[in-house]
Structure 1
Amino acid sequence: MPDVPALAVSPRAAVLVHPDGTLDEGPPASLARRAAETRPLVCHGPAVAARLGRDSVPAHDLLELFAFVHPARFVLPTPGGLAEALGLPAPATLTEQALVLPRAAHRLLDRLTRLDAREQRDARILAWAMARGGWPWAAPALAALDARGDGPHGANALSAFRVWERLGEISEHAPEPVPGSLPVTEAEARARLADLLGRAAEDRPQQADYAGAVAAAFAPRDREDIGPFVLAEAGTGVGKTLGYIAPASVWAEKNDGPVWISTYTRNLQRQLDAELDRLHPDPVEKARRVVIRKGRENYLCLLNMEEAVGRLSGQPAAAIPLGLMARWALASRHGDLVGGDFPGWLVDILGRGWSLALADRRGECLFAACPHYNRCFIEKTVRRARRARLVVANHALVLVQAALGGLEDGTLPLRYVFDEGHHLFEAADGAFSAHLSAVETADLRRWLLGAEDGSRTRARGLKARAEELVGASTPATDALIAVLHGARALPGPGWHARLNDGAARGPTEAFLALVRTQVLARARGQDGPYSLETEAAPPIPGLVEAGQALDGALAGLDTPVAALMKALARRLDDEASTLDPTTRQRIDGLIRSLERRALLPVRAWRAMCRDLSQETPPDHVDWLGIERAYGRDLDVGLHRHWIDPTQPFAALVARRAHGIVVTSATLRDGSGDPEADWRAAERRTGAAHLPASVRAAVPSPFDYPARTQVLVVTDVRKDRLDLVAAAYRDLFRAAGGGALGLFTAIGRLRAVHQHIAADMDAADLPLYAQHVDGIDTATLVDMFRAEENACLLGTDAVRDGVDVPGRSLRLIVFDRVPWPRPSILHKARRAHFGGRAYDDMLTRLRLKQAFGRLVRRGDDHGAFVLLDPMMPSRLSGAFPEGVPVKRVGLAEAVGVVRECV
């Protein structure tokens, strides 16, 4: 064990326990220097440093050791979480938190001694390399691994980092048969649900009713252009997840085909993965039948890993993060870096550059030309999904693939379940929009020309990827040369500085410089830190002409890209009998990539340029914007969105599918008019653009009037953040923790956190905060869920899709009515969808989603408090029938909360 003290820190106190048992206590700032000099034992170094008021503190981080000993295993990144994971008594006080750290270290080092021979060998090699990089845990880890000498050098020292050499290869299979069309009866759905629940399950008639209703979506399609479309609202507590898994799994088995289950949040993907253990208790069978699908940017890229390992000789310190990444890569189920078995807190410790940045980066994948193609995590997942019976994906992936005309092999799923269906509108908005921006156009140039600025990247450009595939075809060679020439009209390296300095180069930068000028001239708040926008019409002098010039320049890219695709397709046809399968696959993949990465966006940009001189198409809205973060300009461009993005969703997804379920606990509005509420649900999900849909609503089994209170506080000014903070503090104390604080803006959240952190600590109520703690949101929610007296502050990401049952969540406080932001896009949609009624609908749905976090099971109870005296009574339909909305002063609200939680 290292002879160093153990450190635990809270917002107002710090404890340093020395190996001899002596103890130093004081405010964090007073112990910061002493802690930095001793390299203490800590749990989550970045969070500890932040509480000490430092950017970083040299330390022995127990989480690094945990990740080395138990890769691909999650632990709550707190002393209590470590204690629970290692079978140690839970610490109650700050001193006990410090005392548990050396015990946790002993236990982890002891477990290193028990690794099997092969894993011990790899761990020793990694620990030696990490020691040369300065890893604080190297000496104790090497001792535990019984390492002798100074370890291997040269190529042998890198052998354990070369994880790609020990991963299994892709297993190829014959194409899957076309699925059948046998229906799922209501009785079959109910029977499967009963099997999933088991004999000991409580009787939940609402869940069986829901499963029976959803089965209607798995009937055969009777028309060419539309299959059954079921809108199914299931109140909280119905159990909709197993309710739709039941008929979906029956259909998949009867028809030997896949059902795609799509979610909006990664949290629900994780929950679904766990629920599907009921369907397939055997992990091997589950791996064959169930696949979690995400975008390519979520997975570790083995070529990125290899290139990082190749730079180790010049960056010995990189052995520390790469050693932990190597340990994880060999233990991971599927190489999923985001929401899979990669601990989110490890990103905080290693930094994005040595973790998430090793994922597949946009436009760099070499596909079949990659030396690791046959071991690639992404490609394995793609192939498993082709043979799976249930594919758990997300709305963004499903809709982007639909917009691009199919999945990797050009096919589209036939059966879908869209859970979190209330988010379909915004998911479609993202998938079917177009952005003629500096970042988008520069990305395309980089994809076509490769790295031009000497950066360390393998972005080889189209010439290197396509030259071998073009072959002896003169038309293809000529088209390739023309594409590369046309790409030079796009922004090159250094575009950001040139636009800011008024030194634009080329037609795209000249256009974007004028866009920037118009935004700065007309947008409000140009001196502030937030993003700016303004209408595209009327354009400033020169913008239309610059758009016309850019249209002409983009034509020099559009035409040769189409010609290159045609020439490559001709080669597939002409050489059908002689091309080897790998080359054929590479050519086919390149054609699809050219269409998706170049042809489709270029044609969308050209249309946007041409429309500057006339009216925007009636179904769309255009605007100009500058994207900012922390006061720095990140991007500038012309944006085009559908006013109603469910139109392309209906055309490209719903009308092509053979059956769709759209489900949520919050599909309908709460206006008080049942028919109007269903019509609102149909407009938000695309059902309004279809000939017919099936409506189903199953109410919650919970007794909300008996178990919940809704309070509107009337004497706290929402524009006085000191008063708002005091209200949060008093309400959180009254509840004794178990409180979720929701905010409409990050700035308001940070201000409240700054005001109340010390008071919460003094009351022994742990306070966690999104956008403050430097911990990913999913981990923060896990930490909050694990403690009954913790409090969590968050924004949209914790307002929806978060499941915290029991005493851990008994109070929700919302800082103000969550009205929609008055953007140009919202203005157009407001006019299209009904003016003030549209604003009210969106706001009611947000309140409804927030309230839905409060009661997750039958014995839950609590209070929902809104700190906004301007809450209009017409929004009260957001809350369950029978729950009165009481307008009270803060003192009375504190008393009610104290009594009801």
Structure 2
Amino acid sequence: MLPYPALHASHGGTWIADGEGTRAVGRAEAVRLVADTPTIVLNAPVIGQRLGHADLSGLDLLELFAFVRPAVFAVPTPKGLAEALGLPVPSDDREVAAFLRDAVDAMLDLLATDWPEREGAWHAAQSLFRLRWTWGPAVTQRLAKPERAERWLFAKLPEWAEEPPRAAPRTVTLPPDEVASRLTRLTGAGAEQRSGQAAYATAATAAFAPRAMRDTPNLVLAEAGTGIGKTLGYLAPASLWSERADGAVWVSTYTKALQRQLNHETRRLYPDADERKRRVVTRKGRENYLCLLNLEDALQGGFQGRAAILAQLVARWAAYSADGDMVGGDLPGWLPTLFRRNGSTALTDRRGECIYAGCPHYRKCFIERAARASAQASIVVANHALVMVNAARGRESATRPTRYVFDEGHHLFDAADAMFSAALTGAEAIELRRWITGPEGTARGRRRGLAARLSDVASYDEEGGRAITDAVEAARALPSDGWLQRLNEGAPFGPVEALLAAVRGLTYARAAGDEDAGYALETELAEPTPQLVEAAAPAAAALDALLRPLVVLGRRLEAVLADAPDWMDAAARARIEGAIASIGWRTETVAAWLALIARIGGPASADFVDWLAVDRAEGREWDVGLHRHWLDPTRPFADTVLRQAHGALVTSATLTAGGDWDVAEARVGAPHLLSPPQHFAAPSPFDYAGRARVLIVTDVKRGDLPALANAYARLIVAAGGGTLGLFTAIRRLRAVHARVADRLAREGLPLHAQHVDPIDTGTLVDIFRDDPRSSLLGTDALRDGVDVPGESLRLVVMEGVPWPKPSVLHAARRLAGGGSAYDDRIVRARLAQAFGRLIRRADDTGAFVLLSAAMPSRLLSAFPEGTPIARMTLEEAQTAVRTLSSAGPIRHGAEA
């Protein structure tokens, strides 16, 4: 056993365990101990927050677990770690500190065995020891040097192989009886037959029929209530069509939780792991995957201090990862948070700097492997954003899917809104400058500008070389480092910074809000001041001077490909094709900026909503700029995605959200197609009348934070935990958490909170799911993306009616969409999604509580038909929740 004490801190107290036993200590004593003595902790950022010492560090067990068991899932709590290591779970908080010492022994003992992740560990341990990793001495002492040389990361990763182009899918028609037979196989021969699921599968089959006319897909809108089994319902015809037509079906989601669920459900389709890996591929945007070149740079000195340690642990994970996905894949979501902001985002391709075949790791690239695997797959699990990006930017046109399933289809509007918008801001402009010019001044790093990336092309093609030089020179008119400070000081440099300065001044002058409150400000782009009009012309000229050489360069690169010079092998061709795609994306961006600038002083467009904004967080400005969104973003979605498809199924449990099919059609772009869609609806089979209640609390005054916090605390205690608390404002969430966390801890009820705990959202949900006595507070991401069936979630509490934020964009859409009726549709959809978190299985029971006396009766149609709804006082609601709660006698567990 290591001769170090272990520390555990929760909202209920602080304990230290050493060779003499366990004792309770005060927070100040605990902080002094950690400062003076190497101390074992579990999740140092969380412990530090609870002790009021954000920079607390120690021997973090999670770091040791990430080294010993990379790519292995573990909930980052005492209970979760105990289960992952096969140790007894501590029964209460006092026992946790001693357990931490036992967990250390278990993991260090593992180092003396031939455990599954042994390969590469010795090499990584030596590097981590040199970096002064706190666990370095203990690990290197116990880890013997292997008898044979280890295959480390870059030698261990397999190379992807080039495949011949896949033929276009065959034209097939799916017989209904065969679809029904496939569904029976997926659900299991002895499973109870659900008529709603069978009808759903039959309706979904229409999306896979041969289309009759060009630009006219077979569109099916299907609303299936929770419990219908829609995932298997659409996988039945999708998998059958894929086999018969030899084509890929892209199943697109909005949340990572549903992606994980889909990957689990496809085990029914392909029980054999190797076949499933070949037939089912998960695709995400490039920014989600580990970039091996960025990682190599970090390992070779590009990262320093704690960031370098993170890079080594990520390298350990990458050697065992299934797909290299750093966001929602098998990288523990808690690992980057242990290092706060030290480097995890720099390990992905977030800036679009990929050099494609010019990269020495191109043949092992996780991104390229996923792209090629998806071209040969049967089912591709993607997300709405990636589907739209690929379609809008012409990516992978040779393997463009003809059949889509858009699950969580109620989010298509929001995804299209984000994808097809434009923003000329300081942050966006400086990113473009860096992409073109590369490092400037004393800047270091792997970042390479256009000239470095395309040096061989410049030497071969004289006109292309001049275009690169002109683009680099023109990019110097864009904002550079320190631009925001210069704007604050009234000393902008260059025409684009001058435009942003005018935008900032007009926004502060006209924004309808408290400019001293520290929150974002915005104002519509109307009746611009002379200063803004005067700044527009020079900025437009500067952007035009940048756009022209980029257009020329794109054309010259296409000509170089056509001429196929002697030096161009397959790798060089792939690199230039990648450069063409990247330049095309930037060209479209600059063209959109020019169109936005042209709006200044010009006529408004009926298709777009334009406004000025100063983005701020907690009183600190971080961006300034002009914004443009489509009034109806489903129009470009329909044009770029739906029209090109042969068939699409759009499905959700809340597609109409208590409205009608006209509402659903408008939210997914159906009115912009030549033929109307088919409709299908199946209500949930759950007994909402007997197993759920909606309680509207009438005596919690709006704006009274102490009363709001008191309501949350009393309701959580009444339910015995298992509560999901939803907020519409981060500020109120934090205020409530600060008031009730210690109070609940004294009741043995752990409380976690998004935007408070230094833990990523996915991990927070894992912790919540793992402990039936815990509760979780959060905002929109939890309202839409939480799937926690069973006793871990038996109460949902919303702070009030989730009215949409009164922004410039919302005001324009509200005017076009029917005024208050438009607001009502949004609120009903949000309420339906929030209520949908409560009952996930037929045996779930619980209450949905809305703390709003002003809840309009017209919005109650958001809840499933037959659900009992009652208005009552907080005391009455507390009694009702206690009665309804199905928690029963649950053993008190240790808080995370």
Indicate if the aligned counterparts of 2:18 and 2:98 stay in contact, CA closer than 8 A: no
Distance in 1, Cα, partners of 2:523 & 2:320: 50
Specify whether residues 350 and 108 from structure 1 end up closer, same or farther in structure 2 by C-alpha distance, changes over 3 A only.
same
Q: Secondary structure at the match of 1:613?
A: coil
Q: Which amino acid aligns with 2:869?
A: V
- Give the CA deviation at 1:392: 0.7
State whether structure 2 residue 112 is matched by structure 1 residue 122: no
Q: Secondary structure at the match of 1:212?
A: helix
Hey, what does 1:293 align to over in structure 2? 283
Q: Larger deviation: 335-344 or 357-366?
A: 357-366
- Give the CA deviation at 1:826: 0.1
Specify whether residues 507 and 25 from structure 1 end up closer, same or farther in structure 2 by C-alpha distance, changes over 3 A only.
same
Indicate if the aligned counterparts of 1:130 and 1:317 stay in contact, CA closer than 8 A: no
State whether structure 2 residue 756 is matched by structure 1 residue 772: yes
Deviations 1:552-577 (A, max 9, x none): 22221222222222222222223378
Q: Secondary structure at the match of 2:3?
A: coil
The correspondence for 2:225, drawn from 235, 257, 260, is 235
- Give the CA deviation at 1:316: 6.6
Indicate if the aligned counterparts of 2:426 and 2:625 stay in contact, CA closer than 8 A: yes
Q: Secondary structure at the match of 2:528?
A: coil
Q: Cα RMSD over matched residues?
A: 2.0
Hey, what does 1:604 align to over in structure 2? 592
- Give the CA deviation at 1:411: 4.9
Deviations 1:345-365 (A, max 9, x none): 101113343333211131321
Indicate if the aligned counterparts of 2:520 and 2:613 stay in contact, CA closer than 8 A: yes
The correspondence for 2:161, drawn from 164, 168, 171, is 171
Specify whether residues 122 and 655 from structure 1 end up closer, same or farther in structure 2 by C-alpha distance, changes over 3 A only.
closer
Unaligned runs of 5+ in 2: 886-896
Hey, what does 1:187 align to over in structure 2? 177
Specify whether residues 485 and 139 from structure 1 end up closer, same or farther in structure 2 by C-alpha distance, changes over 3 A only.
closer
Distance in 2, Cα, partners of 1:339 & 1:834: 38
Q: Which amino acid aligns with 1:234?
A: A
Hey, what does 1:834 align to over in structure 2? 818
Hey, what does 2:440 align to over in structure 1? 452
Deviations 1:52-78 (A, max 9, x none): 111132322111111111000110101
Indicate if the aligned counterparts of 2:395 and 2:581 stay in contact, CA closer than 8 A: no
Which residues of 2 match residues 375-454 of structure 1 at below 5 A?
375-404=364-393, 406-408=394-396, 411-454=399-442
- Give the CA deviation at 1:789: 1.2
Deviations 1:173-204 (A, max 9, x none): 11111111212233222211111121232332
Q: Secondary structure at the match of 1:14?
A: strand
The correspondence for 1:797, drawn from 781, 787, 790, is 781
The correspondence for 2:627, drawn from 615, 639, 657, is 639
Deviations 1:359-402 (A, max 9, x none): 11313211111111111111111111111111111111111222
Q: Secondary structure at the match of 1:792?
A: strand
Indicate if the aligned counterparts of 1:669 and 1:678 stay in contact, CA closer than 8 A: no
Deviations 1:304-332 (A, max 9, x none): 111111117x9476553233122111011
Distance in 2, Cα, partners of 1:356 & 1:66: 21
Hey, what does 1:704 align to over in structure 2? 688
Indicate if the aligned counterparts of 1:364 and 1:458 stay in contact, CA closer than 8 A: no
Q: Larger deviation: 866-875 or 626-635?
A: 626-635
Q: Which amino acid aligns with 2:664?
A: A
The correspondence for 2:664, drawn from 673, 678, 681, is 681
Distance in 1, Cα, partners of 2:815 & 2:741: 43
Q: Tell which has more relative contact order, 1 or 2 (C-alpha 8 A, sep 6+).
A: 2
Distance in 2, Cα, partners of 1:331 & 1:61: 22
The TM-score with structure 2 as length reference comes to 0.96
Q: Which amino acid aligns with 1:59?
A: G
Hey, what does 2:195 align to over in structure 1? 205
Deviations 1:790-829 (A, max 9, x none): 1111111111121110111111110010000000000000
- Give the CA deviation at 1:116: 5.9
Q: Which amino acid aligns with 2:554?
A: M
Specify whether residues 200 and 849 from structure 1 end up closer, same or farther in structure 2 by C-alpha distance, changes over 3 A only.
same
Specify whether residues 719 and 175 from structure 1 end up closer, same or farther in structure 2 by C-alpha distance, changes over 3 A only.
same
Which residues of 2 match residues 367-378 of structure 1 at below 5 A?
367-378=356-367
Hey, what does 1:214 align to over in structure 2? 204
Which residues of 2 match residues 33-182 of structure 1 at below 5 A?
33-115=32-114, 120=118, 122-146=120-144, 163-182=153-172
Q: Which amino acid aligns with 1:478?
A: R
Hey, what does 1:463 align to over in structure 2? 451
Specify whether residues 590 and 185 from structure 1 end up closer, same or farther in structure 2 by C-alpha distance, changes over 3 A only.
same
Specify whether residues 85 and 473 from structure 1 end up closer, same or farther in structure 2 by C-alpha distance, changes over 3 A only.
closer
- Give the CA deviation at 1:543: 1.4
Deviations 1:505-529 (A, max 9, x none): 1111111110111011111222222
Q: Larger deviation: 682-691 or 820-829?
A: 682-691
Distance in 2, Cα, partners of 1:748 & 1:190: 50
Indicate if the aligned counterparts of 1:32 and 1:52 stay in contact, CA closer than 8 A: yes
Distance in 1, Cα, partners of 2:95 & 2:296: 42
The correspondence for 1:735, drawn from 716, 719, 742, is 719
Indicate if the aligned counterparts of 1:129 and 1:319 stay in contact, CA closer than 8 A: no
Q: Secondary structure at the match of 1:856?
A: coil
Hey, what does 1:264 align to over in structure 2? 254
Distance in 2, Cα, partners of 1:639 & 1:192: 48
Specify whether residues 617 and 899 from structure 1 end up closer, same or farther in structure 2 by C-alpha distance, changes over 3 A only.
same
Q: Secondary structure at the match of 2:785?
A: coil
Q: Which amino acid aligns with 2:498?
A: A
Hey, what does 2:894 align to over in structure 1? none
Which residues of 2 match residues 213-362 of structure 1 at below 5 A?
213-311=203-301, 315=304, 320-362=309-351
Q: Which amino acid aligns with 2:292?
A: L
Distance in 2, Cα, partners of 1:319 & 1:867: 47
- Give the CA deviation at 1:275: 1.3
Deviations 1:583-641 (A, max 9, x none): 222222222211112x1111111111112122221111100001112221111111000
Specify whether residues 501 and 862 from structure 1 end up closer, same or farther in structure 2 by C-alpha distance, changes over 3 A only.
same
- Give the CA deviation at 1:489: 2.1
Indicate if the aligned counterparts of 2:310 and 2:336 stay in contact, CA closer than 8 A: no
Specify whether residues 459 and 354 from structure 1 end up closer, same or farther in structure 2 by C-alpha distance, changes over 3 A only.
closer
Hey, what does 2:581 align to over in structure 1? 592
Unaligned runs of 5+ in 1: 672-676
Q: Secondary structure at the match of 2:848?
A: strand
Indicate if the aligned counterparts of 1:125 and 1:160 stay in contact, CA closer than 8 A: yes
Identical amino acids, percent of aligned pairs: 51
Deviations 1:134-191 (A, max 9, x none): 223223322332369xx9xxxx9xx979622332222111111111121223322221
Q: Which amino acid aligns with 1:387?
A: Q
Deviations 1:6-27 (A, max 9, x none): 2221113011111232x22144
Hey, what does 1:649 align to over in structure 2? 637
Indicate if the aligned counterparts of 1:162 and 1:306 stay in contact, CA closer than 8 A: no
Distance in 1, Cα, partners of 2:810 & 2:150: 53
The correspondence for 1:542, drawn from 523, 531, 535, is 531
The correspondence for 1:517, drawn from 501, 505, 512, is 505
Q: Which amino acid aligns with 1:741?
A: G
Specify whether residues 161 and 594 from structure 1 end up closer, same or farther in structure 2 by C-alpha distance, changes over 3 A only.
farther
- Give the CA deviation at 1:100: 1.7
Indicate if the aligned counterparts of 1:336 and 1:342 stay in contact, CA closer than 8 A: yes
Q: Larger deviation: 438-447 or 825-834?
A: 438-447
The correspondence for 1:810, drawn from 794, 798, 814, is 794
Specify whether residues 565 and 318 from structure 1 end up closer, same or farther in structure 2 by C-alpha distance, changes over 3 A only.
closer
Indicate if the aligned counterparts of 2:504 and 2:613 stay in contact, CA closer than 8 A: yes
State whether structure 2 residue 556 is matched by structure 1 residue 567: yes
Q: Which amino acid aligns with 2:618?
A: Y
Deviations 1:867-897 (A, max 9, x none): 0111111110011111232110111111111
Hey, what does 1:674 align to over in structure 2? none
Hey, what does 1:17 align to over in structure 2? 17
- Give the CA deviation at 1:242: 1.2
- Give the CA deviation at 1:246: 1.2
Indicate if the aligned counterparts of 2:355 and 2:575 stay in contact, CA closer than 8 A: no
